[in-house]
Amino acid sequence: MTTSIKDVALLAGVSVATVSRALGNGPVSPALRAKVEAAVAQCGYRPNLSARRLRSQHTRTVGLIVSDICNPFFTAVGRAVEDVAYRAGMRVILCNTDENPDKEAMYLRLMQEERVSGVIFAATRATADALDTAELGFPVVMIDRAGAAARCDAVLLDNRLAAAQLVEHLLERGYRRIGGLFGNTSSTGAERHAGFAEALQRAGLPVAARFVAPSAAAAQAELAAWLPEETAPEALVASNGLLLLGAAKAVRAAGVAVPQRLALAGFDNDSWMELAEPGMTVIEQPVEEIGRVAMEMLLERLRQPERPPRKVVLAGRLVARGSSLARA
């Protein structure tokens, strides 16, 4: 039995309503306000957020739905989201979907039951395309991946451009047989593949792309199988940090020289990219900015529900390192 606002009122000799007003910022005389604060301090009162949320009908809670918080990209994004959210007096509920549409649906339902103020969502391709954000009952900001048709706010990387940039970098450095490893569940993977393919076609080169499950292990297995083949590439583009990690492991296990026998390049400037010899060439995403902007857009949307949806497209930054050194 915890102490409630009633106990405070009794102790301070005022009404329940006055306590509520003194704690929020209602109009209350300095004298009573002082009495209330004294009583609160004396009995160690803590407001019950469930009751407050029920009565006031807004939860000051946002959901953050990502595929896997263990992916450093989402960790960093999530951290930025939380910082902005807590600073705005909102709480964050984190959900990991493992790129599983069933889990996505389950968590979306949970968000409805929580009556969240809004959701920041990195959806799989399937869900992003099918999602009807209007009937959800709360605003959604898409991150990383956006549904083609989704009429809602989003903050994204210019994936096509970034992938093309990577290919052109490799072409410049003298590589020709360029392969690609892409995630098979996200629209991000698809877009990066599109930019990859376009750039190669512009150069009149064949595109050799493989799609894998979005995990380091899958990428490692795929590349391990690919390396001994005749079609094995001279340079490889990996569609995100996890896949690049897997690729690097496969390369190391096979004892393949980087970049002499195989150049590597990918996405996400994770902490190890600099450290793995000879340094990984990557497109760095502005991870902190993505999370911050997403949360800010959500807050903006809550203030102005009728504002037309907006998509913020951020640019990646090419960080060239030893793994794509110019060909001898």
Q: Does residue 282 contact residue 248 with C-beta atoms inside 8 Å?
A: no
Q: Judged by CB under 7 A, which stretch of 1-9, 128-136, 246-254, 256-264 contacts DNA?
A: 1-9
Q: Cis omega (within 30 of 0) on the bond before 72?
A: no
Please answer whether residues 245 and 226 qualify as being in contact, where contact means their C-beta atoms are separated by less than 8 angstroms: no
Of 143, 161, 155, 146, nearest in space to 318 by CA: 161
Residue 200 or 282 having the CB closest to its own copies:
282
17 forms part of the interface with DNA (CB under 7 A): yes
91 is a contact residue toward DNA (CB under 7 A): no
Q: Could you tell me whether strands 281-284 and 317-319 are parallel, antiparallel, or unpaired per DSSP bridges?
A: antiparallel
Q: Does 11 bind DNA (CB under 7 A)?
A: no
100 binds, options DNA, its own copies, none, Cβ within 5 to 8 A by partner type:
none
Judged by CB under 7 A, the residue of 34, 38, 54, 106 near DNA is: 54
57 binds DNA (CB under 7 A): yes
Binding residues vs its own copies (CB under 8 A): 2, 46-51, 53-54, 59, 68-70, 72, 75-76, 78-79, 82-83, 91-94, 96, 109-110, 112-115, 137, 216, 245, 248-249, 252, 270-272, 274-277
* Closest to its own copies by CB, 104 or 270: 270
CA atoms of 142 and 156, how far apart (whole Å):
8
The stretch among 29-37, 103-111, 173-181, 285-293 that binds DNA (CB under 7 A) is 29-37
Of 38, 51, 149, 203, the one binding DNA (CB under 7 A) is 51
Q: Report d(CA 188, CA 150) in Å as an integer.
A: 15
Kindly give the pairing relationship between strand 208-212 and strand 235-238. Answer: unpaired
In angstroms, what is the minimal distance from the CB of 200 to DNA? Answer: 54
Dist CA 280 CA 273 (whole Å): 5
Q: Three-state SS for 284?
A: strand
Using CB under 7 A as the binding criterion, the count of chain residues that bind DNA stands at 32
Tell me the closest approach of the beta carbon of residue 173 to its own copies, in angstroms: 22
Distance CA 238, CA 240 (A): 6
Residues 6+ apart with CB under 8 A from 138: 111, 112, 115, 116, 117, 118, 119
With residue 41 as reference, give the H or E element that holds it: helix 30-43
Residue 18: which of DNA, its own copies, none does it interact with, CB under 5 to 8 A by kind?
DNA
* CB closer to DNA out of 58 and 202: 58
How buried is 281 (Cβ within 10 angstroms: 0-12 exposed, 13-18 middle, 19+ buried)?
buried
**Is 2 one of the binding residues for DNA (CB under 7 A)?**
yes
Q: How far is the CB of 218 from its own copies (least distance, A)?
A: 14
Give the count of beta carbons closer than 10 Å to the beta carbon of residue 48: 12
Name which of 78 and 139 has its Cβ closer to its own copies. Answer: 78
- Residue nearer to its own copies on the CB measure, 133 or 159: 133
Residues that bind DNA (CB under 7 A): 1-2, 4-6, 13-21, 23-24, 26-29, 31-32, 45-48, 51-52, 54-57
